[in-house]
Amino acid sequence: MRIVEIASSLGLLLATHAKPCAGAASDLDILAGQHVIYSFPTSSTPPAQLVQLTKAGLVGGVILFGENVDAKTAAAMDTLRQAYAASPAPALLKKTTGVADAKFFISTDQEGGQVRRMKGEEPKLSPKQMGASADPAAAGKAGGAGAAATLKKFNNNANLAPVLGVYREAGDFLDYYGRSFGNSSAAVAAAAVPFIKAQQAAGVAATAKHFPGLGAASHDANTDTGPVTLEQSLDEIRSIDEAPYVGAIAAGVELVMMSWAVYPALDGRPAGLSNKWVQDELRGRLGFTGVTITDAMEAGSLKGFGGAEETAKLAAAAGMDLLLASGRNVTQGDTIRKAVVSGIQSGRLSRAQFDEATKRIAAMRSKLWA
């Protein structure tokens, strides 16, 4: 281990055990906050609660939905950026990870076509249209560049896109809204990889989703609303659904979002709660070294696994770096952050695993345009 790695690990260890000053958040609270993506309701104006938490260093990022996008969004995101910059979080991340410029993470879903939080903005073509064009690579590149330009216009720096699912039947879950680039692994990779490269070249992080894939999901199989089980063999999943991820990982995709579907071929838990899918398959077999992020923590597919605190601990234990609190409720994010803290303090969550995740998050955020 190099000297800088030893110093970094020591810093994280000390931070984890540091006691809070009176009236201030502890270092562990602050570091845990960097693992949670918060959301908020109604408009582009962040609630006072969110601004206060951000100033305290307890928020590392947010996700925006359609209701958060209007003419004031860019200025509103600047308010959150300034609150983060004035907080103890940047200095603590530098001290504990060695990363000097971990920016505030501001994300949305700007896939193209029907799934665009910034309505009327690029990419106007859906992934299906990009994949079906005469030159899918050029269309994908234009889509990624367009998504990056749109997000930068609204002061965002991360896109929870593209979808790498390989749809199976016309009108199924991904194909119905044109979210899949194609019905073969090669077709998806041909457009999605240039999308990722172009977007990230502009300083906007890309997210390949939903690993290992929702391409086989039927029209009504939506993990947001309830449990989904996909019965494909492990052979089929690896040869078809995972294949586009090989190219995305080789291209340096910054984040991978896990699916909440259950794939009994490898595990009986949803993929995002499964160490077998996150650690063994994605990291071990495919060699992904970037940041993992959950799908919505309030998803209906998780109802059978406990409340917000329990599912947060299950996801973190499985190897999820970022927990997506997308219920448009600031309290949800804070509940999840506190669950991570209590999990570490009780010993249920691995401190070493948490520390490594913090390093990955900080490194990813240092590459963002602003």
Whether residue 268 is predicted with pLDDT greater than 80 in this model: the reply is yes
For the chain, percent of residues with pLDDT exceeding 70: 94
pLDDT value for 340: 98
Cis peptide before 127 (omega within 30 of 0): no
Length of the chain: 370
Q: Please state the separation of Cα 357 from the chain's center in Å.
A: 13
Whether residue 3 is predicted with pLDDT greater than 70 in this model: the reply is no
- Mean residue pLDDT across the chain: 94
pLDDT in tens, 73-120: 999 999 999 999 999 999 999 999 999 999 999 999 999 999 999 999
Whether residue 308 is predicted with pLDDT greater than 60 in this model: the reply is yes
Describe the crossing of helices 243-250 and 185-201 by its angle, rounded to 10 degrees. Answer: 20
Cα–Cα distance between 190 and 179 in angstroms, integer?
A: 15
pLDDT value for 16: 39
Whether residue 17 is predicted with pLDDT greater than 50 in this model: the reply is no
Encoded tokens for 63? 């996700």
pTM of the model: 0.93
Whether residue 316 is predicted with pLDDT greater than 60 in this model: the reply is yes
| pLDDT classification of 15: cutoffs 50, 70, 90 | very low
* DSSP code per residue over 136-156: HHHHHHHHHHHHHHHHHHTT-
Encoded tokens for 360? 């990955």
User: Bigger pLDDT: 367 or 6?
Assistant: 367
User: What integer is the mean pLDDT of 9-36?
Assistant: 67
| Cβ contact 115:147 at 8 Å | no
pLDDT value for 1: 35
pLDDT in tens, 214-249: 999 999 999 999 999 999 999 999 999 999 999 999
pLDDT in tens, 153-166: 999 999 999 999 99
User: What integer is the mean pLDDT of 307-324?
Assistant: 98
pLDDT in tens, 61-70: 999 999 999 9
pLDDT value for 23: 62
Angle (CA) 50 56 58, round 5°: 65
User: Bigger pLDDT: 2 or 240?
Assistant: 240
Encoded tokens for 62? 């947010």
Whether residue 136 is predicted with pLDDT greater than 70 in this model: the reply is yes
Q: What are phi and psi of 356, to 5 degrees?
A: -65, -40
pLDDT value for 24: 83
Closest CA to 197 of 134, 147, 127: 147
pLDDT in tens, 329-347: 999 999 999 999 999 999 9
Whether residue 21 is predicted with pLDDT greater than 60 in this model: the reply is no
C-beta neighbour count of 260 within 10 angstroms: 27
